Structure 1
Amino acid sequence: MEVGSTRSWDELLPDALGLIFKNLPLQELLTVVPTVCKSWGKAVMGPYCWQEIDIEEWSNRSEPGSVERMLRMLIARSNGSIHKLCVSGLQNEPVFSLIAENARSLRILCLPQSNMSDSIVEKIAGSLSMITFLDLSYCYKISARSLEAIGKNCKLLEGLRRNMHPLIMEERLSQDNEEAHAIATTMPNLKRLETAYLRYINTIGALEIIHSCPQLEYLDLRGCWQVKLDGEYLKDKFPKLKVLGPYVVDRYERNNDYEDWSDFSDSLYDYESSDDENRFGELEFRFYQQFNEDATNGWPPSP
């Protein structure tokens, strides 16, 4: 191409257009871009725009039926090339099976608030072997059985998010450390683990995870009131490990940077640091819209 010459946007290769279009809002990508020209419409209909499907924010304010229809359409367009999938509130077993059937390239999977059961997770875990980051926050019907199935089948797993809502977890305080044990015995390669308000984890369970996951760099125990750790012991034996909690002053941080979840910033604090405790109020916690606003504003006090 001669110096000073230009090339029309509609002449760009579909994969190049896909890289550009994936930065657009979902509504524009589905309704505006296809009407511009044939090449843009073709790019949007193909897999290049849908290697990363992140409709979590949209699904939080949408009806379950609409979410499932949207997800089925986008998975069909991806043609099995999905690297990242983030969607909230899935309800039906067939849609989980659909995800598993198209998971050969999947690395990041975020399914918060989903109505999955242990039997469903055990059924699909074998198809998720390439997963490196998994979010099962606010999935209340699954138990240690699911985590064990994930750990045994997803050997590349380095990040797990299993945060809970503090008020709902009141009903499950009688449970023991089964989930902590499942994590410790099947997920030795974890680098990041978030278990905020998984309140039936106690000191024994937390220490089992810490000792069994030698690569662990970040552990979120905020709201896990039964955990009592020795900060000096952790600093001495696990100098690379950052631990948040269990004490919470206000709200806890929002962190959706799935692609870069192992990069720790200055906002992560060592366990039992008095200077850090004064800064917890700066952290932001995201709640889903289905939770009552009054309930989410009042945090249970530290015991």
Structure 2
Amino acid sequence: MAMAMAMPMEVEMEMERGSAEICSGGSSSALLAPSVSDGGVAAQWSEMLPEALARIFAVLPLEERMRSVPVVCKAWRKAAMDPTCWRVVDLHEWSRLMPWEVIHRMVQLVVERSGGGLEELSVCRLANDEPVDYIAKRGHGLKVLRIPFCQVTDGCIANIAPSLSRITHLDISGCTAISKTALAQIGRSCKSLARLDRNMSFFFQTNNLVAEEYDDEALAIAAHMPLLRHLELCYGSLTNSGLAAILDKCKSLDFLDLRGCMNLTIDGAMAERCRKIRVIYNIKFNDQFQMLDLYDDMSDVHYSDDGWDIEEWYSSSDEIDDVLPCEMW
């Protein structure tokens, strides 16, 4: 079955890099690059080496990798299953539109496809600890994990943190079920962590904490994450005391986002300290409902008839029952 697909610029660049590397051994037939004449002669993509195809497919949008590539021909389908295609997976926008059961099933699918080689994963709205545990236990090579607005708990973090020792960037923004306990465990286990995103919402900041807890998370970060270079605490509850602790202990910090932190008063000596690094903090509120749009405002999420779902991607596949069991977790 033939299918015409436009090549994005990233694909063309990756194809050139793959050609140079694969052909470096001296074999002139190692990679058959597409040659399209003015008359529109179809490129013989199916004759490429599987590893070359896999590298090209890896830079395609996720929907194309899942939905279009596997149905072109057997060679493409085989290449699309290669773990190389699944080292970096961004499900963030897609997961905003899907029921949590489908999101969980997709997470298991991409983790399995990666064959343990997953390096970067972005997904939101996971409804419990199970998919997060699944990711961590099978993704020992993870370097970037973005799981904002997920219902992950302190207990889950305690279990998985040792498996995330290679993490350099962690996003747990909006994860309201975790506390200073989880942050301390992350700091103790993830020694390579250079960036932490812990952005919250205006309503959580004001409705879920008492004054004695305002600096708990900031103090945990200061005590256990001294090597952080990038820290986001938008709508955090920290006060000047918590900020001072972070500035004292996190000596490598060069970026700090404090937008919406209404318990801070940054002037005088504190303002002078903040000038030494890049700090964003001067957001003014007109009323209590004015909110910074950190994640395109999750309140406007709606289900769309035009959304692409996981079942539809595999409607022509004989493996749908094996890959996507109804009872995954």
Q: Give the TM bin, normalised by the shorter chain.
A: 0.7 to 0.9
Cross-structure match for 2:298 = 288
Cross-structure match for 1:186 = 224
Cross-structure match for 1:300 = none
Gaps of 5+ in 2: 1-27, 35-43, 303-329
Equivalent of 2:263 in 226, 241, 248: 226
Cα distance in 2 for partners of 1:161, 1:170 equals 19
- The verdict on how the C-alpha distance between 1:121 and 1:233 changes in structure 2, with shifts beyond 3 A counting, is closer
Cross-structure match for 1:143 = 179
Cross-structure match for 1:195 = 233
Question: What displacement does 1:93 show?
Answer: 2.4
Cα distance in 2 for partners of 1:114, 1:233 equals 33
Divergent runs of 4+, >6 A: none
Gaps of 5+ in 1: 255-284, 293-303
Equivalent of 1:63 in 91, 96, 99: 99
Question: What displacement does 1:116 show?
Answer: 0.9
Q: Give the structure-1-normalised TM-score.
A: 0.78
Cα distance in 2 for partners of 1:146, 1:80 equals 25
Question: What displacement does 1:43 show?
Answer: 1.4
Question: What displacement does 1:36 show?
Answer: 1.1
Contact 1:225 1:246 in 2 (8 A): no
- The verdict on how the C-alpha distance between 1:15 and 1:184 changes in structure 2, with shifts beyond 3 A counting, is farther
Contact 1:60 1:289 in 2 (8 A): no
Cross-structure match for 1:121 = 157
Question: What displacement does 1:151 show?
Answer: 0.4
Cα distance in 2 for partners of 1:22, 1:108 equals 17
Q: Does 1:105 pair with 2:141? A: yes
Equivalent of 1:91 in 127, 130, 136: 127
Residues 68-125 of structure 1: CA deviation (Å, up to 9, x unaligned): 1111111111000011010101123221221111221100000011111111111111
Cα distance in 2 for partners of 1:210, 1:216 equals 8
Q: Does 1:44 pair with 2:54? A: no
Cα distance in 2 for partners of 1:6, 1:158 equals 39
SS of structure 2 residue aligned to 1:160:
strand
Question: What displacement does 1:232 show?
Answer: 6.4
- The verdict on how the C-alpha distance between 1:92 and 1:40 changes in structure 2, with shifts beyond 3 A counting, is same
How many residues in Structure 1 have an aligned counterpart in Structure 2? 258
> What letter corresponds to residue 246 of structure 2 in structure 1?
I
Cross-structure match for 1:213 = 250
Cα distance in 2 for partners of 1:11, 1:61 equals 37
Name the % identity: 36
Question: What displacement does 1:15 show?
Answer: 3.7
Cα distance in 1 for partners of 2:80, 2:139 equals 20
